[in-house]
Structure 1
Amino acid sequence: MKRTFLLFTMLTTPSVSLADNAVNVVSWGGAYSQAQDDAFNTAFEAQTGISVNMVDADDPAVPLQAQILAGNVTTDVASLGYSDATRLCDENMLMLIDPATLRPAPDGTAAVDDFLPGGLSDCFVATDVYSTIIAYDESKFPENPPDSLADFFDTEGYPGRRGVLKEPRFTLEMALMADGVPAAQVYEILSTPEGLDRAFAKLDTIKDDAIFWEAGAQPPQLLVDGEVVMTQAYNGRIFNAAVDDGKPLKVIWDGQIYEMDGWVIPKDAPNPDDALAYVTFSTDAQALADFAMQISYGPPRKSAASLVGNYKDTDIPMTPNLPTTAQNMANALAFDNDFWVDNLAQLNERFAAWLAS
């Protein structure tokens, strides 16, 4: 059965007519939605007879909230980041999802015990884990390549320009970890004046060598163009540039900061039963492993890790390329949305002042 791909061109959703036994799924488009289509939708339609309409949006939270506020909900399931899901759930816009309705792990472990911390909340079921990492051009370091977050800040041992995200989030955390703060203590220390001073002092050590970026497509291009030798980046962008485009780019997993995307179901969804069936099916351990073989985002269920094989139809194993792989998580930090909700405004001001100084 062929699925329909639609595109949002307005903040409110165009009228989409849904037949019975169909779900309208709003996601991020591009390779991400294609991976969901390949991993989830064909099998779901074959097993349930429920058709899936994939709808693309630059940020699914925007049209979803617009629909809810307008009282014209056409979305059944939407892919959101954890922070947006939490916000809309707190505003009573989303359906509660009982973890007991989700499929257990293959060995019978309940879903609530199988998902990684943060993978389940009142209205949210995670589908993938992605991360902000350090990447480098391996052709620039044929001997003794960098392998730690500290190396990113070592411009004497590893000379060259650095690509730095032009905002405090991720950047301040990485500065503290590079300065020796254990991942488990980062947000505690960042909550103090002394910790903030320490983070900015660490950033001072690379400021003169920094090229600041804002869009996710920029870091791999900065590396490929030779404008930087190392950069903060999003892991999926570097994987695609290296594997799909054949560029000599490598990921340093030390100090990665990981986040999750996942499904939500809006209140007043046109087909809530089919929506829940879709969420349940697509967050099964095998389905999540299938998704991780299409795109370099890790499965948020522990039991899915051993089920991950090669990337698409290649001989490239995906496990070493996923944020959730055990060795890649050795010094990983879970992004703390609550900290940034409370502190983003004031730290944006301080970061802007630091940039201008």
Structure 2
Amino acid sequence: MKSTILASGIALTMGGAASAAELTIVSWGGAYTKSQIKAYHEPYTAKTGTKIKSEDYSGGLAEVKAQVEAGNVTWDLVDVELSDAVRGCDEGILETIDSSILPPAPDGTPASEDFIEGTLHECAVGEIVWSTIYAYDKTKFPNGGPQTMADFFDTKKFPGKRGLRKGPKPNLEFALIADGVPVDEVYDVLGTPEGVDRAFAKLDSIKDDVIWWEAGAQPPQMLADGEVVMSSAYNGRIFNAVATENKPFEIVWDGQVWDLDLWVIPKGSPNKEEALKFVAFATDTQRLADQAAWISYGPVRKSSNPLIGKHAEAGIDMAPHMPTAPENFKNALQNDFEFWADHQDELNERFNAWLAQ
């Protein structure tokens, strides 16, 4: 079992009372967990006196399920991806969360209208939006770089090697968007044999120019090494390369495929009431904007966007770098986890066969 680390500066006693509430909050580690500690944990402890233990995990529901089935739940809150939030709810291993506990926006807009559509669920409350985009090296296109998803597939106008993640997702979505399918129709089209053929035909048009990547750290490295002139990537990785390493990369947001991380409470958490209070606090307008000072993942509340300031350490204005910034979110597609749950195996098989041809 992973050791539980008490985040620095978190322990706070109130008036010498030894029985202050305590929460164990589980997330993904690294810069992401740091953003949560700075924006949520430390202010919550300062406000309430609740001690917070921060633990890391590598995703999935296996540990949550094991704790619930053993009747020994030691985790109070877990940061999960959407597919796990929905599956865990269906399997009955997560507590339901009534969204009426969430505070309204500062102007009084109810939380149900302030959260981006698709970010509140029966057992989960959304926290951040992250996305797969493509980025290019500005030095390779002195007369102006690509602007649209169609440009990624235009090797005549923008010659050079492309980087793509080795797998069907989200390359099939990118291909259909580039081929003119409106984002709100992508999964309808991809749900037909003709649509799948169309997506692969579009990928065929650049196949000879693609270098495939598998780990999130690869695209910025491939761009930096000049191995590719543009590549799909996770937006936070490109932002970090620009902000901390001064790389000349530019993100193209057109056709971004976005996804969510959400808070869930394992069924039988001994600190459920305290966990609910934390969720309400951590997903208010100000706290979500505060997290965006540490990492370029977008808040799930519309009211948070105007409050996004500068990066806490690099001093860069963060608002333009969020997937959810109005300018970036214009032609965005939410990853359809249900589509992929139904079709992942067959499309993986088709992709691998296509790759081998």
Q: TM tier, shorter chain?
A: over 0.9
Residue 247 (str. 1) matches residue 227 (str. 2): no
Letter of the 1:177 counterpart? I
- Cα distance change, pair 266–226 in 1 and its aligned pair in 2 (3 A): same
Q: Which runs of 5+ in 1 are unaligned?
A: 7-17
Task: Give the C-alpha shift of residue 60 in structure 1.
Answer: 5.4
Task: Give the C-alpha shift of residue 70 in structure 1.
Answer: 3.0
In 2, Cα distance between the equivalents of 1:320 and 1:263? 25
Residue 107 (str. 1) matches residue 145 (str. 2): no
In 2, Cα distance between the equivalents of 1:89 and 1:20? 30
Match for residue 134 of structure 2? 134
Letter of the 1:288 counterpart? L
Report the secondary structure of 2:351's partner residue.
helix
Report the secondary structure of 1:145's partner residue.
coil
Letter of the 2:123 counterpart? C
Letter of the 2:251 counterpart? V
Task: Give the C-alpha shift of residue 64 in structure 1.
Answer: 2.1
| Conserved 8 A contact 2:20-2:49 | no
Match for residue 13 of structure 2? none
| Conserved 8 A contact 2:243-2:314 | no
Residue 29 (str. 1) matches residue 63 (str. 2): no
In 1, Cα distance between the equivalents of 2:148 and 2:346? 30
Deviations 1:194-242 (A, max 9, x none): 1111100000011111111111111111111111111110000000011
Report the secondary structure of 1:252's partner residue.
strand
In 2, Cα distance between the equivalents of 1:66 and 1:100? 30
- Cα distance change, pair 355–211 in 1 and its aligned pair in 2 (3 A): same
Letter of the 1:307 counterpart? L
| Conserved 8 A contact 2:7-2:52 | no
Match for residue 204 of structure 2? 204
Letter of the 1:154 counterpart? D
Letter of the 1:259 counterpart? D
Match for residue 307 of structure 2? 307
In 2, Cα distance between the equivalents of 1:200 and 1:152? 15
Task: Give the C-alpha shift of residue 5 in structure 1.
Answer: 4.7
| Conserved 8 A contact 2:7-2:37 | no
| Conserved 8 A contact 1:133-1:232 | yes
**Root mean square deviation, CA, Å:** 1.5
| Conserved 8 A contact 1:60-1:79 | no
Return the TM-score normalized by structure 2: 0.93
Deviations 1:295-322 (A, max 9, x none): 0000101111111111114442111100
Match for residue 12 of structure 2? none
In 1, Cα distance between the equivalents of 2:335 and 2:276? 27
Match for residue 261 of structure 2? 261
Residue 177 (str. 1) matches residue 177 (str. 2): yes
Match for residue 14 of structure 1? none
Match for residue 4 of structure 1? 6
1:150-165 pair list within 5 angstroms: 150-165=150-165
Deviations 1:82-122 (A, max 9, x none): 11010000000000000111111111111111110111000
Match for residue 319 of structure 1? 319
What is the aligned length? 344
1:83-98 pair list within 5 angstroms: 83-98=83-98
Letter of the 2:337 counterpart? N
Return the TM-score normalized by structure 1: 0.93
Report the secondary structure of 2:256's partner residue.
strand
In 2, Cα distance between the equivalents of 1:325 and 1:136? 20
Residue 295 (str. 1) matches residue 295 (str. 2): yes
Residue 194 (str. 1) matches residue 191 (str. 2): no
Deviations 1:106-158 (A, max 9, x none): 11111111110111000010110000000111111121211111111111111
Task: Give the C-alpha shift of residue 271 in structure 1.
Answer: 1.0
Report the secondary structure of 1:136's partner residue.
strand
In 2, Cα distance between the equivalents of 1:322 and 1:345? 32
Letter of the 2:92 counterpart? N
In 2, Cα distance between the equivalents of 1:24 and 1:50? 11
Match for residue 10 of structure 1? none
| Conserved 8 A contact 1:5-1:55 | no
| Conserved 8 A contact 2:136-2:230 | yes
Task: Give the C-alpha shift of residue 19 in structure 1.
Answer: 7.0
Match for residue 216 of structure 2? 216
In 1, Cα distance between the equivalents of 2:66 and 2:138? 45
| Conserved 8 A contact 1:25-1:75 | yes
Match for residue 230 of structure 1? 230
Identical residues among aligned pairs (%): 52
Task: Give the C-alpha shift of residue 67 in structure 1.
Answer: 2.1
| Conserved 8 A contact 1:322-1:328 | yes
- Cα distance change, pair 184–164 in 1 and its aligned pair in 2 (3 A): same
Letter of the 2:192 counterpart? T
| Conserved 8 A contact 1:28-1:60 | no
In 1, Cα distance between the equivalents of 2:108 and 2:150? 41
In 1, Cα distance between the equivalents of 2:68 and 2:334? 30
